[in-house]
Amino acid sequence: MAKEIPYKIYLSENEIPRQWYNVRADMKKKPAPLIDPRTMKPITLEAMSEVFCEELARQELDDTTPYIDIPEPLIDFYKMYRPAPLVRAYCLEKQLDTPAHIYYKFEGNNTSGSHKLNSAIAQAYYAKQQGLAGVTTETGAGQWGTALSMACSYFGLDCKVFMVKVSYEQKPFRREVMRTYGANVTPSPSTTTAVGRKILEEHPGTTGSLGCAISEAVEAAGASGGSYRYVLGSVLNQVLLHQTIIGIETKTALDKYGIKPDIIIGCAGGGSNLGGLISPFMGEKLRGEADYRIIAVEPASCPSLTRGRYIYDYCDTGRICPMAKMYTLGSGFIPSSSHSGGLRYHGMSTVLSELYDQGLMEARSVEQTAVFAAAQQFARIEGILPAPESAHAIKAAIDEAMICKQTGEQKTIVFGLTGTGYFDMVAYQKFNDGLMGDYIPTDAELDAAFTNFPPQP
Ligand SMILES: *Cc1c(COP(=O)(O)O)cnc(C)c1O
């Protein structure tokens, strides 16, 4: 007889993965290489290492090594908040009256409130190993900045955060959490960098964007004379690699009970949580061992996969980072100030972009008010107050479960619940007061942003 499945499948500490899985190793057609805008050739390790920590630059460029050891000090840190539970959403299933089985991997059980800590601690570790004084970064909604300040304080590193201005103003408590962990937080665009001053001149009164804050953080690291490096919380291959701890734990938990998912769902901003969740499953799919439906969910206000172009683009507004071939809305695209700050990036992970282009995963976009309705429904029945970003995945999971109700199919749905929404109460307030809108860019607006792509290599 099948084992009864508990509400929460917890792994023990010694089941924390010892290696990350690099899905690129199993891709026959690899993601296109990052291009150095100065040479228009694939970027070298040396050039990458000017901006990023050397070991992270190596991970970024490595598309052949399938498994990469997780250093022991990281495993010790992971033990503070991992393994994360895989939860069976029995209560939601019952409320929906669906034959579907719904599971979610909950990554909100740490002070930063999201999965971002999984990569923050790895990046801080490699920076420390290299003997750096500190790191610079950008943060949108604030989760990444919070995670990075926690990681930096643990390893005794300096942390300079450029925080997108709209979030800096809307989320003063996030800022204070970062400062509590010792970070220095500057609203972006700022007058402390040349690129910030230029953007302020061209767009006076702008509330900022991730692309712009990235440019400022990269410039600040470059100006440090080599004692700081820039680190990034999403989009990059290295981040996706670190986040595979989510997917490996999920798979281990499912395997214990002999559960095989039919559909795997995640929200997609830069693609790191989704990439991390799906990697081991995608690996099986690529090797022809199993098949899964994989769905990326993005906001209708920033639809990189569903309405973007697959093309080489700048990764930041200031055009100082390497260029990446990805689904993108253009580096000049500044999405409406929606309440899912973590999903406002103009591009998408090159790995996910390539997998999507090969038809190995699907993508859909959802509107903000529908996302918050799903968030509220979920909070009331499953207890967890989700981050608005995570609620994109909840919305798609509920939609899929309702299709199962119509067809009578008992599908197994797994989605990533990336974080909690305690710092998003301004957004929830707007929703509760009926004041939330659904801004969807017009084709004309997207076409305008598409005119700014760089020359293609
Ligand atoms: C940053 C963030 C996201 C989106 O980033 P990805 O790199 O696409 O995973 C999603 N959910 C939460 C809670 C976040 O903080």
One-letter identity of residue 397: A
In the reported structure, the alpha carbon of residue 144 is separated from the centroid of ligand 1 by a whole-number distance in angstroms of 8
Of 356, 343, 390, the C-alpha closest to 113 is: 390
Give the pLDDT confidence of 16-46 residue by residue, as tens digits.
999 999 999 999 999 999 999 999 999 999 9
Give the pLDDT confidence of 396-415 residue by residue, as tens digits.
999 999 999 999 999 999 99
User: In the structure, what pLDDT confidence band is assigned to residue 229 with cuts at 50, 70 and 90?
Assistant: very high
- Residue of 109, 110, 114 to mutate, ligand 1, most atoms within 8 A of C-beta: 114
CB 134 within 8 A of CB 159: yes
Q: Please work out whether the CB of residue 349 comes within 6 Å of at least one atom of ligand 1.
A: no
Q: Please work out whether the CB of residue 343 comes within 6 Å of at least one atom of ligand 1.
A: yes
In the reported structure, the alpha carbon of residue 234 is separated from the centroid of ligand 1 by a whole-number distance in angstroms of 8
Measured between alpha carbons, how far is residue 382 from residues 32, 344, 374, 387, 428 in Å? 41, 27, 12, 14, 17
Residue 356 has pLDDT above 70, yes or no: yes
DSSP 441: -
Q: Please work out whether the CB of residue 272 comes within 6 Å of at least one atom of ligand 1.
A: yes
* CB atoms closer than 10 angstroms to residue 186: 22
First to last CA, the chain: 58
Residue 180 has pLDDT above 80, yes or no: yes
In the reported structure, the alpha carbon of residue 75 is separated from the centroid of ligand 1 by a whole-number distance in angstroms of 22
- The single residue listed with the structure tokens 């508990």 is 6
CB 208 within 8 A of CB 170: no
Of 22, 10, 15, the C-alpha closest to 243 is: 22
CB 230 within 8 A of CB 51: yes
In the reported structure, the alpha carbon of residue 344 is separated from the centroid of ligand 1 by a whole-number distance in angstroms of 10
User: In the structure, what pLDDT confidence band is assigned to residue 2 with cuts at 50, 70 and 90?
Assistant: low
Tell me the average pLDDT across 70-84.
98
Q: Please work out whether the CB of residue 273 comes within 6 Å of at least one atom of ligand 1.
A: yes
Measured between alpha carbons, how far is residue 62 from residues 34, 55, 231, 349 in Å? 12, 11, 17, 15
**Three-state DSSP class for residue 366:** strand
The atom number, within ligand 1, closest to the CA of 390 reads 11
Q: Please work out whether the CB of residue 242 comes within 6 Å of at least one atom of ligand 1.
A: no
Q: Please work out whether the CB of residue 340 comes within 6 Å of at least one atom of ligand 1.
A: no
**Predicted pLDDT at 83:** 98
Tell me the average pLDDT across 427-455.
94
DSSP 116: T
Tell me the average pLDDT across 426-455.
94
Residue 210 has pLDDT above 90, yes or no: no
Distance separating alpha carbons of residues 246 and 22, to the nearest angstrom? 13
Of 274, 228, 233, 218, the C-alpha closest to 143 is: 233
Of 357, 417, 412, the C-alpha closest to 386 is: 417
Which residue is closest in CA terms to ligand 1's atom 3? 342
Residue 421 has pLDDT above 90, yes or no: yes
Q: Please work out whether the CB of residue 270 comes within 6 Å of at least one atom of ligand 1.
A: yes
Distance separating alpha carbons of residues 210 and 242, to the nearest angstrom? 21
**Predicted pLDDT at 209:** 82
